[in-house]
A and B are shown apart, each in its own frame.
Chain A
Amino acid sequence: MNTEIYKLGEELDSFNYQEVQDGILAILEKGCSAVLDMTACNYVSSTGLRVLLYTKKMAASKGLKLYLVGVSAEVKDIMDVTGFDGFFDTFDTVEECLQQIQ
């Protein structure tokens, strides 16, 4: 499966969501699944959570995937209590992700 990696910065919120969303959608447009490297990210806002789920659903509608990688404990906790965690396949590292999905 063709995949491309998108690397997130420290935060995903309403200030940068458009750029991130466009970036992920561009990967999907190419017919590639997206690996979202969240290793550096320590905060995802309500807007950010929706970007993740929206792009995941867009991927699914094209028969593609969105994988989350390196989700920090803080972000994992937010996703857990708000119920967004249940929608995603997550991996600790990009290497692990690429290996597993082959």
Chain B
Amino acid sequence: MIVELFILVILFLLAGTIFPLLAASLDRRSIRTISLSSIIIASVLLCGLSLLTLFSGEPVSFALYQPLSQFSLSFVIDRLASFFLLIIAVVSACVALYFTEYIEHMEGQSRRNLLCGSTSLFILAMVLVVASANTLSFFLFWELMAASSFLLVTYEYTHDETRKAGIFYFIMTQLSSLFVLLGIIVLYVLTGSLVISPLSAASAPLATVAFLLLFVGFSIKAGIIPFHKWLPYAHPASPSPISALMSGVMLKIAVYGLVRFLLDVFTPDLWWGLLILAAGTASAVLGIIYALKEHDVKGMLAYSSIENIGIIFMGIGLSVIFTATSLPLLATLSLLGALFHSLNHAMFKSLLFLTAGSVVTATHTRDIEHMGGLAHRMPVTSALFFIGAVSIAALPPLNGFASELLIFMSFFTSVAAVQPLFKVLLFICLALFALTSALSAACFVKAFGSIFLALPRSPECAAAREVPRAMLIGPGILAAACIFLGVCAIQIFAIVGFSVPLPDMLLVSLLLMGMAALTYALLYFTASREVRVSETWGCGTLSQQASAEYSGHGFSEPLDIIFSAIYRTRTTNERTFFDQKNCIFEKGKGEIRLLKVFEEYLYNPLAQQSLYLAGRISRFQNGCLDTYLLYVFITVIALIVFLGWFA
């Protein structure tokens, strides 16, 4: 049953990939709709499949194809895999639904067919990565995922910005693959097999090397600081539904990889947990601080993804720490928090990216300073974005809160258990975690306020209209999921078979609604019911001007100043003069620029070093036949000596 369903999913996704490629030159809507529909069907099937295994809890393993005796394309769908398959399924279905309409508003005529095809391929690759039972096929599909996502990012390749983002993304994602591959090779050296199976305890030092390699590989893909820089480039450049897929799902695949290898392969040391926790905390805090400064709506969402992945890593790190200090209950609690936050982040971040895409389509700008007043013009989109914003700001009773609460709880209860020194460390991380979630509330007040409230700040924005229905239904399903996962969190955990110490959010939501209804009723019977719409006092101005509004920039100014140590700026001042005594001014240039710390102090020096090295190596390649003959000769001699020595 499960196997047949899984094959059916693969076939539908393959059909979605191949069909638009066959008709690549035909610019017909029907072709794209058929391709996207097959994605939707595959997602629905995948959803059913993953729910079946999630509830039954019995792992299903099967091999599809065995080219070598050592290696087969075999798959395992256990609870962990099916959980991540569920994330892929829900988000893909909503994104594909949204895409059916969105793609018709895009440029590129028949090239759009290819976009559909690569989207389908991308989803297929992610499904196969998650289901892979051995390391080699895990890596192969990981590469397929990287390649297909590169195609998606560079869809609008005619823009310079997109090309630059695409290359940046490609290099980072290949680095990630390189580290994953090295990690897998070390594992193969250790065990001599490709199966994802537990390591024996004896192989400690090499196991640590393997873990570090895999950790770096997954961190690059997940966007953990300092490997995060591709996110704020790739997301604004790619089409919004693709951003939703990449941020909502692809980052989670990296999380899946980390969790899978930590649970099934390694027996983690305490300091691994500390490393993951530290990386997570740094990403969470810095991610949201950078997000506050960002005025490109998609760039801001990208930074906020870094923050949320940081939170997920904090949960995983805590879980590793508790496992290593033999506190299994707390370990489960924090791992559940991390996994639940992965699911929740997939829901609300895709929702936010999709609605941001609608806003960008309607206003033709990504700069939130040029938006405003869209709550009147796009009422449904604004309501959907609002639900996403409340979720991501971790406010009760929606889902972002439920998962952050789990992680908070594991912090709070952990302190009674571990050694004094760790307690202090955990308290520091807890304080930073609290700062993160409060800042994310500030960030999304700013985002929602600047985009949807007050007066429109550009003529395009004033002329914006609500988007077509398909672009509302897709995000609508995600918004419903956000509410459901938050309000019924404890019931969901109970059904899956975990009892978590969460408060009953259903009761809290009922109380909230009851109190609101009570207040409304009391006011209705006691207070005056008169309402007037009129100009309110604006300090003596005759009417409100959009230019006098509080801008997004102004909103984050106090936090800018408080965190000015992190937002480093560089001031340059160049002047030239007509005379030698520097008296008669000719021209000059003054500039205050936000310093891109990681790019200027980490990425660029590394890139320059590798360019320099590559330059040295390329000297061997001089294009002269004699030299190459010499190389061959030296190689042969070296081989003979080597074989004579060792064989």
Q: Do the two shown chains form a genuine complex with each other?
A: no
- Interface set of A (CB-CB < 8 Å, partner B): none
